[in-house]
Amino acid sequence: MKPINPFPVLTFFLFCFPVFLNAQNIPVDYRLLYQQSFEREEALKEIECTDSQAWKLGNGKENKALEIFKASNYSPRFRSPFNIALLKTKKLGSFVLEADLQQTGKEYGHRDLCLFFGAKDPSNFYYVHIASKADAHAHNIFLVNDAPRVAIGEKVTDGVDWGKTDSWHRVRLERDLEKGSIKVYFDDMTQPIMESTDHHFDFGYIGLGTFDDVGKFDNIKIWGKGFAPEKNGFFH
């Protein structure tokens, strides 16, 4: 008896039910919009920093990584992080971001790295502050809205274990514009370490950094429905 070729059936199944291709738990109507592993110097041209002299390409998880290695010469108008590197691509609304993070500083309660999103200008944005211990100013989802940062996390863990300065961690940030939901994952992609719901900002720039520490960022991937729609005029 001639063996049955399973590939036509498998192809039909995957075409009709694409959700099963979604190994990374990415919404089926999202597509990969951006990825960067910082292997070449040209990658630095894709970002805008609060202080370009504080950032460089350092040793990464495999080869190179984006590294904040000293304090930025930057004073924000309102109390908020000093070390920021924004991606100069178009603005995003709903998205899923994944990246490898390495905290290279000393251990203390506010030992942190940050992810930025919904950024409108230097005084209006969201950021996720991932730190060793949670308190009123650390390890939370924060809103900077023409005022000093305010914690808006509704469910937040007690903190994370960054481990040694050569330890890498996988971080995931989910933002759903319509629902206003924000979720953050750290190593375990099944249980968020932070959750919130907020509708202050819609489309905005995405970035990486730290409040006042040092660290590295590598293997960034961002999925979404698309970039912010182009406006036809200033008022509409």
In this predicted model, what pLDDT tens digit does every residue of 55-101 receive, in sequence order? 999 999 888 999 999 999 999 999 999 999 999 988 999 999 999 99
Closest CA to 84 of 41, 106, 56, 52: 52
Q: What pLDDT does residue 4 have? A: 47
Q: What pLDDT does residue 183 have? A: 98
Please answer whether residues 200 and 143 qualify as being in contact, where contact means their C-beta atoms are separated by less than 8 angstroms: yes
**pLDDT over 50 (residue 20):** no
Q: Is residue 17 part of a domain?
A: no
Q: Is residue 165 part of a domain?
A: yes
What's the number of domains the chain is made of? 1
**Token couple for 200:** 């202050």
**pLDDT over 70 (residue 10):** no
Angstrom distance (rounded) from CA 124 to CA 120: 5
Q: Read off the pLDDT band of 229 (50, 70, 90).
A: confident
Query: Domain span at residue 110?
Result: 27-224
**Bridge-partner residues for 169, per DSSP?**
101
Angstrom distance (rounded) from CA 227 to CA 89: 9
Q: Is residue 19 part of a domain?
A: no
Q: Is residue 231 part of a domain?
A: no
Instruction: Report the DSSP pairing between strands 83-87 and 95-103.
Output: unpaired
Q: Is residue 87 part of a domain?
A: yes
**Token couple for 40:** 């070449």
**pLDDT over 70 (residue 8):** no
Q: What pLDDT does residue 21 have? A: 34
Portion of the chain with pLDDT greater than 90, in percent:
83
State if pTM tops 0.85.
yes
Q: What residue spans of 65-145 are helical by DSSP H?
A: none
Burial status of residue 3 (CB atoms within 10 A of its CB: 0-12, 13-18, 19 or more): exposed
Q: Distance between alpha carbon 220 and the CA centroid of its chain, in Å? A: 8
Q: Is residue 230 part of a domain?
A: no
**pLDDT over 80 (residue 125):** yes
**pLDDT over 60 (residue 14):** no
Please answer whether residues 143 and 120 qualify as being in contact, where contact means their C-beta atoms are separated by less than 8 angstroms: no
Q: What pLDDT does residue 232 have? A: 66
Strand stretches in the chain, DSSP E: 31-36, 47-49, 55-59, 64-68, 83-87, 95-103, 112-121, 124-131, 140-145, 150-151, 155-156, 169-176, 181-186, 194-197, 205-210, 215-224
| 3-state SS class at 168 | coil
Q: What pLDDT does residue 17 have? A: 38
Q: Is residue 44 part of a domain?
A: yes
Q: Is residue 91 part of a domain?
A: yes
Angstrom distance (rounded) from CA 152 to CA 141: 6
Q: Read off the pLDDT band of 13 (50, 70, 90).
A: very low
75 DSSP 8-state letter: -
